[in-house]
Amino acid sequence: MVIGKQYLSYPDVDLKIPEESDDYAECSELIISNITNIVREAMDSGRNKIVINTNLKLGIPMENVNKVAGPFIEAWAFEVLSEAAEVLDNKYSLINVEAGERLNIADIVLQFKKERPRQTSVTGFVDVKATSNDIVGSGKSPNITSYSRIRTAYVEDPDYIFIILSIKHKVFSTRNEESKMMMGVMEVVDFHPYDLKYISAPDLSYNPALGTGQIQIRDIHYVNLEKRTAWEFCQLLDKKFLASKKGFEQWLAYARANKWIKE
């Protein structure tokens, strides 16, 4: 049985076109700017260290620290942002911080106060990516999110703001002279927040492995930006998918399953 209209190629498909609000770029910049200020202030005030106690004589195994760093860095970022929100009428206009639910597309959800047409707040969805300053190539080309999930997110909400918060850390061990136990210290040394929609086309890649495939950043330490609309971003994602071995027929199946098409 054939379901739906038959299409010969991508240009023939009658796609739903997401249209973001006129102030999208302004909202994105507000979120990026406030995240930058909050994290920078935490680092400048010495709140950039995570202490991990261990009874291992040699401390944390440095060659494998990148395998366990992600959850610690994510928890640190959540704590720093939450502390900023706890200050009533804080200078960042940050009104709410929530941890992303398990299997959520984002690790942290932020809400900022902002007067907009028919709205008084703006929401940013943050994905925290940890990279090691001690290990060459660590976290350089991370998987960001599932192709179909992020593609669907912009169709369902053209104002969806998905922020990649890249955090670089280094680790060293020191001995607690009182307990004689080794302490691992994970220190945040640099960071960069990016709006995924504005990452340049050459810096984004599509990996067909894992489900519908993964959107990746080629080198998270060196990212160029270019402004584009939600519709232009959806087309860019589709172009990268179609250039893969999965091709048009598989894309069409995903498009129908996720309701990207007017049918």
Confidence of residue 175 (pLDDT cuts 50, 70, 90): confident
Selection from 22-31, 132-141, 217-226 with the highest mean pLDDT: 22-31
Average pLDDT over residues 114-120: 88
Buried b (16+ CB within 10 A) or exposed e, 16-42: eebebeebbeebbebbbebbeebbeeb
pLDDT at 179 over 90: no
pLDDT at 3 over 60: no
pLDDT at res. 2? 44
Least confident of 88-97, 101-110, 194-203, 246-255: 101-110
Buried b (16+ CB within 10 A) or exposed e, 178-194: eeeebbbbbebeebbbb
pLDDT averaged over every residue in the chain: 89
DSSP H helical ranges for 87-169: 147-156
Q: What is the dihedral of CA 172, 168, 128, 205, to 10 degrees?
A: -130
Confidence of residue 151 (pLDDT cuts 50, 70, 90): very high
pLDDT at 124 over 80: yes
Token pair belonging to 107: 């690790």
Under DSSP, is residue 174 helix (H, G, I), strand (E, B) or coil? Answer: strand
Q: What is the CA radius of gyration of the chain?
A: 21
pTM for the full model?
0.90
pLDDT at res. 143? 87
Average pLDDT over residues 138-158: 89
Contacts of residue 147, Cβ cutoff 8 Å, sequence gap at least 6:
206, 212, 213, 214, 215, 237, 241, 254
pLDDT at res. 232? 98
pLDDT at res. 101? 76
Domains of the chain: 10-257 (3.40.600)
